Amino acid sequence: MTPPGRYHTVLLFGAPGAGKGTQGRIIGQIPGFFHLSCGEVFRSLDINSPDGREIYKYSSQGMLVPDATTIRVWKQHLDALTVLSHYKPHEDLLVLDGIPRNREQAEIVEAHINVLKIVHLKCSDTEATMHRIRRRAIRENRVDDAQEEIIRKRFQVYEDETRPVLEYYSPKLITEVDAIGSPAEVLLQTLKCIVPVQNAIFRHEEMEPALS
């Protein structure tokens, strides 16, 4: 049973360019999984709307969007997807990337999600991930990936604010996956982590409760 008001969730976690979005999009095509990227939610907003302007102001400088705006925009989008039955909490395991991005957000979103597994896409080669980001900027026309100074700022913010989020969760929930390799190789290892979670929840098998 889904805890009241909370969605069974897997987090895809990692530095900028680690491949969270790539893996999430592929996994989201598999029945029984629903992928939601906080970054994509932000980029879908009208740049001329109040939220769009505020988010762009921070993201274009490589900074984190304020917590209140992040949580509100993300939750409104998730609620809309639920109302439209795109995301079905009683059938789909929610796969999130891009949230939470700091300790405060981890505490806030706990009211909405029940984190059952964290896949830490670990990349020890910063230059390789920066190369991925530069290619992505060209391919997807992403302003937040276009300037090296901004990219390096995002890495610094990740190290200072986002990486410590892992300390908020029980080590039992975290599995590291080497993010360097082909998308298929990373996908295989990621699925090995999350398919048992999906089976346990939606086939009503026994599973240890999430610890925070």
Residue 72 sits in a domain of what CATH number?
A: 3.40.50.300
- Output the pLDDT for position 120: 98
3-state DSSP call for residue 55?
helix
Per the structure block, which two tokens stand in for 15? 């530095």
Per the structure block, which two tokens stand in for 105? 């957000």
Residue 209 lies in a domain: no
- Output the pLDDT for position 17: 87
- Output the pLDDT for position 151: 85
Q: Which residues of 166-203 are buried (b: 16+ CB within 10 A; e: fewer)?
A: bebbeeebeeebebbeeeeebbebbbebbeebbebbee
- Output the pLDDT for position 128: 72
- Output the pLDDT for position 202: 86
Residue 58 lies in a domain: yes
Residue 161 lies in a domain: yes
Q: How many helices (H) and strands (E) does the chain have?
A: 8, 5
- Output the pLDDT for position 4: 55
Residue 92 lies in a domain: yes
- Output the pLDDT for position 142: 62
**DSSP H helices in 19-120:** 20-27, 38-43, 50-59, 67-83, 103-109
Q: Which domain holds residue 132?
A: 7-202
Residue 121 lies in a domain: yes
Residue 211 lies in a domain: no
3-state helix, strand, coil in the chain (%, to 5): 50, 15, 35
**pLDDT tens for the 212 residues of the chain, in order:** 445 579 999 999 999 989 999 999 999 999 999 999 999 999 999 999 999 999 999 998 989 999 999 999 999 999 999 999 999 999 999 999 999 999 999 999 999 999 999 999 998 777 777 777 777 666 666 655 567 888 889 889 999 999 999 999 999 999 999 998 889 999 999 999 999 999 999 875 444 444 43
Residue 16 lies in a domain: yes
Residue 210 lies in a domain: no
Among residues 33, 82, 43, the alpha carbon closest in space to that of 65 is found at: 43
Task: Return the amino acid letter for 28.
Answer: G
Per the structure block, which two tokens stand in for 189? 């290892």
- Output the pLDDT for position 84: 96
Among residues 157, 204, 148, 197, the alpha carbon closest in space to that of 173 is found at: 197
Q: How many domains does the chain have?
A: 1
